[in-house]
Amino acid sequence: MNIALILSGGTGNRLGADIPKQYIKIGERTVISYCLEVLENCQSISAIQIVADERWHELISESALTKLKGFSRPGKTRQLSILNGLEDICSYADEEDLVIIHDAARPLISEYLIESVIEAAKAHDGAIPVLPMKDTVYLSEDGRRISALLDRKCVVAGQAPESFRLKPYYEANKKLLPDQIMKINGSTEPAILAGLDIVTIQGDEQNFKITTKDDLVRFKEIISRK
């Protein structure tokens, strides 16, 4: 079984909106509804678990998801939200199942990318879509001065969805409790720290995350052309 874990507990402060970005309506639809529709229609996804504050459950349920297994409580950090979702998934899933982690603020996910990240994880512990770096990449240790030039051929930008074998990934997260997990920035980081075998696949430029107002404008423009 392949279970999608959707992270929708963020507040979206950087966007400066009155409500979290994933619940902003574009026309008659919320941002989150776009990725949920793709996951609902993807034959490889068996179940959907959503991390979201209780006050948004009714709005999310307007999407009429037949695959929705339940909601998980948001944590203090993104990775703690993931751990809460994993614990709930473990109550009904098998150890060898795959969990596919995706951000509600990435509405333009494609079924092809979902299928690809699932297929890539079958012979490994997990998989992550990545994009090559187009610009020259530098290291700045103090955030003000250039410390070193990095080889951009060896640097990639990670995307979602990320897929993991449920049991190893869950155990990798638990090992980071109580303090180290607070420092985690990306979903794949606990897997790497645990020495799991994580492979990369080609990402999708259109699968961007809505973080700023410009991102939201870009999304509206794409939707208006469809």
- Per the prediction, the chain carries an average pLDDT of 95
pLDDT score for 13: 62
- Taking residues 198-208, what's their average pLDDT? 97
pLDDT score for 18: 81
By the 8 A CB rule, do 114 and 161 touch? yes
* pLDDT band per the 50, 70, 90 thresholds, residue 225: confident
More confident residue, 63 or 75: 75
Distance between CA atoms of residues 32 and 63, nearest Å: 9
Q: Which of 94, 131, 121 is nearest to 208 (CA)?
A: 131
pTM here is 0.95
